[in-house]
Structure 1
């Protein structure tokens, strides 16, 4: 589920309001790539990817030129249940031995009048690359107590598992996975 890691980085890229172009590295200690999917239509299964990295650049004077790249280590999937995680890492779902990483690279950033934005890009998951859109909003930005400068964003997107050749049948209510991304970047 590389998508989470990719998406988390992507979210950051679009809404930074600093006056100059800046490059940021995702602070993974203050970021998360989360997912949720219905389990058989009866409840929600939530989890995260614990190992991801990424960077983004943003120029408030030219936000449409924002760029982001994120890599998620798919074996780091964590649903808080060891046996389920083993199944999710296997061939029915992520096939992490064959596809140990998921990546996201942005292709466009489209700000809206209300301050939100759409981050578009290519997500590669399970060996398949598809164009996706992530709904992004800025959380905040400013100086940190250690003399650095940070910017934070959140975003969400919905993925159809079959689009990424993940065909395990958990019923029609479980065809889609939702990614919830929280990203904090440190300006370089």
Structure 2
């Protein structure tokens, strides 16, 4: 998944729950997201001075990929919000509270693609629905295929990466906008294992 900043006011992703995909064509192959080699990272500006970074380890998901007709492909991903990790326990606990992610009410962030269009040799415009805090908003990101091939154990893998930006307030996350930026930069790097 490649790199384009989507500043249309929408955040994360790319990303999100291990659900099966419907309506995939026979030519498409199914890849399970490898949670050990996949990453969902984010950064936000603090006091408009420096950046703070965090991640959601172990994302889950399914990629239905049709190499001959990428527009027939689909992706679904999710992250467990309670896994948020900024390397500062006190901050992580605050992020889990109702001020930010409200983990008790909204335990997952999910992404489900609605269209995929080839834009270059290894790049694709992926549009979809991002659900955060119980609200679903459209997002679009440019995704780059980073590689494909067999691993040493004979499993076939495919990799994608994207970087995009959302505005957290579009999902109703309005706490401390004067101290923590509204814009959130998200990186999603995924390896999928063919099933």
Please say whether Structure 1 and Structure 2 have the same fold, judged by a TM-score greater than 0.5.
yes
Q: Deviations over 1:125-170 (max 9, x none)?
A: 0111000012200110001110110011100121111100000123
Q: Which residue of 2 aligns with 1:56?
A: 63
Q: Would the aligned equivalents of 1:122 and 1:129 in 2 still touch at CA under 8 Å?
A: yes
- RMSD in angstroms over aligned alpha carbons? 1.9
Q: Which has the higher helix share?
A: 1
2:93 aligns to what SS in structure 1?
helix
User: How many residues are matched?
Assistant: 177
Summarize the Cα distance change of 1:96–1:173 in structure 2 as closer, same or farther, 3 Å threshold: closer
Q: Deviations over 1:77-100 (max 9, x none)?
A: 000000000111111110000100
Q: Deviations over 1:52-96 (max 9, x none)?
A: 200111111211011011111111100000000011111111000
Which stretch of the first structure deviates more once superposed, 112-121 or 60-69? 112-121
Unaligned runs of 5+ in 2: 1-10, 19-26
1:140 and 2:147 aligned: yes
Q: Which residue of 2 aligns with 1:4?
A: 13
Q: Which residue of 2 aligns with 1:77?
A: 84
Summarize the Cα distance change of 1:52–1:7 in structure 2 as closer, same or farther, 3 Å threshold: closer
TM-score, scaled relative to structure 1 = 0.88
1:22 and 2:35 aligned: no
Q: Which residue of 2 aligns with 1:13?
A: none
Unaligned runs of 5+ in 1: 10-19
Q: Which contiguous aligned blocks of 4+ residues in structure 1 show a shift greater than 6 angstroms?
A: none
